[in-house]
């Protein structure tokens, strides 16, 4: 009775350990070692049922000092055992019969048992010098009574003499009780794993959908997690400077990478015509072609005027003078259109003089098909052509900026588990600036986590180097680092993280993986504005 109580206590301890273990290989070992301990078995095998066959997950034998599968690092090379062979149920094998019947099988001596094929067992014994006798095989059933696997124990031993004995009725009851707990633990672990895989697949699907939504940002959501984790690891390993105590665990890594995948999820509400606006005049189409038609009308009107003047007896100008004036007009129209065409691209900064020239050109007139005089440029066209940076006007910029508001709103509405509670803060801070002039919340540096500041730098560097934007080519490394150095001096990005970004050559690791070779030029650290080049204490 004392021994039985001890074994029941041991069963409870194993059950508690099973419910607390989250690592599947360790969980398998707990099940195997627990079953052997409860029944005093010398060995055993654990199988999983999948795709109509039983696959070996763990094999253990004390006498032969065999440990395979689990955390042992020793690969199991035995083939799967099918439930159906040649169209018939495989009842010849003990473990498959256990699955097909759903019953526990208790065998006193495998060599004397009828009804099963023990050829494989005899071959194993012959090769190893082992002698398989008693055998206890029972199914692992989940909470819905579905069989998920089989546990087979070999050679029960007498506690005192060590001799091989039969598995007793108590052994069977304890083993079946453990099997029930083990199946629940395995099912729980499997469900958690499947939910995690589903969750990760879902967030990658969202990121891919956002990238696919616009041909000009394809890959952005996939590159940001890589760069973010590169920089986070560099900060984690730094031994000097203000971030020398910054460390991240595997849990922290998972949380940060999840935030990086979701950092632009709000773009699902951003209209494509704004995201894809490649030029200043683009709406559904690029209106620069309409301007080109107007200049062509001006040129043709000038040509008609020139021809009429030559035919008129009242015009006193010579043919050479008329020809010169016509050619000068055509040249001027060509120059003016070329100026507007370049302004429409939006790749360079628009100075005040150029904006004034746009407004001056807008005062010219052209005659439409109805004979009505119209301004060469509409108010909307003037406004868009006068954009100083990029291709977006103030209203469109607000629409773009709203994606981060949408991101925060979407993420804060999700019931993230405890290990992911910081995802909204990390993802929602990548457009904030250290001096509080960023958006959407105008946070200062001390109001942001290190992880959010890391994502801000990653997002900026990716945007500068990206070669798939509608309004610019990817910049060279030296130019990107110069711009970021100036941003550091202006307190727009975190100075300590920027130091690590440069010092540890994170930019180069990323560049070698994602940038075009012509973008990777020589970097002179001394030419990077704001880079100290020395570790701060």
Query: What are the domain boundaries of the chain?
Result: 2-192, 214-267+411-527, 288-391
Instruction: Give just the sign of the alpha carbon dihedral 478, 479, 483, 484.
Output: negative
Q: Could you tell me if 244 and 251 are in contact, meaning their C-beta atoms sit under 8 angstroms apart?
A: no
188: Cβ contacts below 8 Å, ≥ 6 apart: 19
> Rounded to whole angstroms, how far apart are CA atoms 233 and 241?
15
Task: Report the b/e string of 448-479 with b at 16+ CB within 10 A.
Answer: bebbbbbbbbbbbbbbbbbeebbbbebbbbbe
372: Cβ contacts below 8 Å, ≥ 6 apart: none
- Digit-coded pLDDT (tens) for 468-525: 655 567 789 999 999 999 999 999 999 999 999 999 999 999 999 999 999 999 999 8
Tell me what pLDDT residue 534 has. 46
Query: Which CATH number applies to 2-192?
Result: 3.30.450.40
> Rounded to whole angstroms, how far apart are CA atoms 83 and 178?
24
48 SS3 class: strand
Tell me what pLDDT residue 299 has. 93
Tell me what pLDDT residue 535 has. 42
Low-confidence ranges of the chain (pLDDT < 70): 1-5, 11-12, 215-218, 468-472, 532-537
> Rounded to whole angstroms, how far apart are CA atoms 234 and 187?
38
Q: How many residues does the chain have?
A: 537
What phi and psi, each to the nearest 5 degrees, are found at residue 370? -90, 0
| Angle 480-483-487 from CA coordinates, rounded to 5° | 135
| CATH of 214-267+411-527 given 3.40.50.720, 1.10.1740.10, 1.10.3210.10, 1.10.40.60 | 1.10.3210.10
84 SS3 class: strand
Three-state DSSP string of 140-173: EECCCCCEEEEEEEEEEECCCCCCEECCCHHHHH
Assigned token pair, 8: 């029941």
> Rounded to whole angstroms, how far apart are CA atoms 229 and 233?
6
| Angle 219-223-226 from CA coordinates, rounded to 5° | 155
Q: Do domains 2-192 and 214-267+411-527 have the same CATH topology?
A: no
Tell me what pLDDT residue 461 has. 95
Neighbours of 326 (CB within 10 A): 18
Tell me what pLDDT residue 3 has. 66
Stated pTM of the model? 0.69
> Rounded to whole angstroms, how far apart are CA atoms 418 and 440?
25
278 alpha-carbon distance from chain centroid = 26
- Digit-coded pLDDT (tens) for 198-242: 999 998 898 888 777 776 666 788 899 999 999 999 999 999 889
Assigned token pair, 112: 């004397």
> Rounded to whole angstroms, how far apart are CA atoms 532 and 530?
6
55: Cβ contacts below 8 Å, ≥ 6 apart: 47, 48, 80
Neighbours of 396 (CB within 10 A): 19
Tell me what pLDDT residue 296 has. 94
Burial class (CB in 10 A: 0-12, 13-18, 19+), 197: exposed
């Amino acid at each position: 009775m004392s021994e039985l109580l001890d074994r029941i206590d041991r069963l409870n301890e194993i059950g508690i350990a099973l419910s607390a273990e989250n690592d599947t290989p360790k969980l398998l070992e707990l099940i195997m070692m627990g079953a052997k301990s409860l029944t005093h078995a010398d060995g055993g095998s654990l199988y999983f049922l999948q795709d109509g066959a039983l696959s070996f997950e763990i094999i253990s034998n004390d006498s032969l000092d065999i440990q395979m599968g689990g955390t042992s690092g020793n690969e199991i090379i035995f083939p799967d055992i099918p439930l159906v062979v040649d169209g018939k149920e495989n009842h010849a094998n003990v473990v498959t019969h256990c699955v097909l019947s759903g019953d526990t099988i208790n065998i006193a001596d495998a060599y004397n048992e009828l009804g099963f094929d023990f050829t494989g067992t005899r071959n194993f014994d012959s090769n190893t010098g082992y002698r398989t006798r008693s055998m206890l095989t029972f199914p692992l059933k989940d909470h819905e009574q579905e069989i998920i696997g089989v546990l087979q124990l070999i050679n029960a031993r007498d506690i005192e003499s060590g001799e091989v004995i039969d598995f007793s009725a108590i052994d069977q009851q304890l083993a079946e009780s453990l099997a029930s707990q083990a199946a629940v633990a395995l099912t729980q672990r499997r469900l958690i794993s499947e939910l995690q895989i589903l969750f990760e697949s879902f967030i990658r699907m969202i990121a891919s959908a956002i990238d696919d939504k616009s041909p000009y940002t394809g890959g952005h959501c996939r590159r940001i997690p890589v760069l973010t984790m590169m920089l986070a690891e560099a900060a984690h390993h730094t031994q000097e400077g203000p971030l020398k105590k910054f460390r991240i665990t595997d849990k922290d890594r998972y949380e940060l990478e999840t935030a990086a995948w979701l950092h632009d999820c709000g773009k699902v509400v951003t209209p494509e015509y704004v995201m894809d606006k490649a030029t200043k005049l683009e709406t559904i189409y690029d209106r620069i072609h309409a301007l080109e038609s107007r200049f062509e009308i001006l040129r043709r009107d000038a040509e008609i005027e020139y021809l009429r003047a030559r035919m008129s007896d009242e015009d006193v100008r010579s043919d050479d003078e008329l020809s010169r004036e016509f050619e000068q007009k055509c040249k001027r129209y060509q120059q003016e259109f070329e100026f507007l065409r370049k302004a429409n691209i939006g790749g360079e900064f628009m100075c005040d003089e150029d904006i004034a020239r746009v407004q001056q050109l807008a005062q010219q007139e052209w005659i439409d098909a109805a004979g009505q005089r119209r301004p060469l440029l509409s108010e909307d066209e003037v406004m868009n052509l006068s954009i100083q940076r990029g291709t977006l006007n103030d209203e469109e910029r607000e629409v773009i900026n709203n994606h981060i508001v949408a991101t925060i709103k979407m993420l804060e509405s999700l019931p993230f588990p405890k290990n992911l509670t910081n995802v909204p803060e990390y993802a929602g801070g990548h457009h904030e600036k250290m001096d509080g002039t960023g958006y959407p919340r105008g946070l200062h540096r001390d109001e942001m986590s290190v992880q959010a500041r890391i994502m801000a730098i990653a997002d900026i560097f990716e945007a500068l180097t990206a070669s798939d934007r509608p309004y610019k080519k990817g910049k060279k490394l030296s130019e990107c680092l110069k711009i970021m150095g100036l941003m550091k001096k202006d307190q727009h990005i975190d100075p300590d993280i920027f130091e690590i970004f440069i010092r540890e050559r994170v930019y180069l690791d990323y560049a070698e993986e994602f940038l075009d070779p012509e973008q990777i030029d020589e970097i002179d650290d001394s030419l990077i504005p704001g880079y100290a080049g020395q570790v701060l204490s």
